[in-house]
Amino acid sequence: MGKLYLVPTPIGNLEDITLRALRILKQVDLILAEDTRTSGKLLQHFKITTPMHSHHMHNEHRTVAALVKRMQAGETLALISDAGTPAISDPGFLLTRACVENAIKVDCLPGATAFVPALVNSGLPNDKFIFEGFLPVKKGRQTRLKFLAEEKRTMVFYESPHKLLKTLRDFISYFGADRAISVSRELTKIYEETVRGTAEEVLQHYTNKPPKGEIVIVVGGG
């Protein structure tokens, strides 16, 4: 019986990959990558020549069964996403569940993920928090925001730069203009930035300075 490794990859700074992750990526029979072009640059940087297959949200439903058979036949696979830890707002859950259902061992390595440093450096309470990932774009968005308006714990969201202003306006509408918010973008990269303040203050900042890069929003509980 083979095995599945879930291997976090750097969210920006390549030095954030672990020695164990490098060893596993060199040793496995196959690396499953969200985007082989993106991951190819990472593997080339670390001189890793392990074969890669594409495994992303558009094909994972079709490929899981075949991958399970390969592991049942003795192959060892590693799953990586473009950045961060697999299955955190990225592909990974379906394959992991299939392995569990088929008694295939799964090892998840600790490593980079965007929401943890954003939460910790926000200055907001992090003893209890909820991770919401991306809010629904249309259907279910209002329902979710109404529900979260009563949430007492710190909330963590992912957002794209072109939707940030809309999301901040929604937070003002449902949570109030004075709700404490921290927005971190481009974490671990050269232009890393964290902006903290009320929802209104953060909205004003990014209205005057359009955001770029990957974004994590941390919102204080009610």
Tell me the average pLDDT of the chain: 95
The stretch 140-158 carries a mean pLDDT of 97
pLDDT at 138: 87
For 65-69, what is the mean pLDDT?
Answer: 96
Q: What is the pLDDT of residue 62?
A: 85
In order of 11, 84, 119, 197, the CA distances from 116 in angstroms are 12, 11, 5, 19
Name beta bridge partners: 32.
Answer: 53, 79
Side chain identity, residue 31: I
Residue 148 confidence (pLDDT): 98
pLDDT (tens digit, 9 = 90+) per residue, 76-107? Answer: 999 999 999 999 988 899 999 999 999 999 99
- Measured from the Cβ of residue 217, the count of other Cβ atoms closer than 10 Å reads 25
* Rounded Cα–Cα distance for residues 157 and 151 (Å): 14
- Pairwise CA distance, residues 178 & 163, whole Å: 20
> How does pLDDT run across 171-196, given as a tens digit for each residue?
999 999 999 999 999 999 999 999 99
C-beta separation of 188 from 13 below 8 A: yes
Check residue 36 and give its pLDDT: 92
The angle at the Cα of 84, spanning 80 to 89, to the nearest 5 degrees, equals 90
Q: How many residues does the chain have?
A: 222
Tokens of 92: 């990974």
| Predicted confidence (pLDDT) at residue 72 exceeds the cutoff of 80 | yes
Is the distance from CB of 155 to CB of 222 less than 8 angstroms? no
* Residue 216 binned pLDDT confidence (cut-offs 50, 70, 90): very high
Q: What is d(CA 212, CA 102) in angstroms, rounded to the nearest whole number?
A: 42
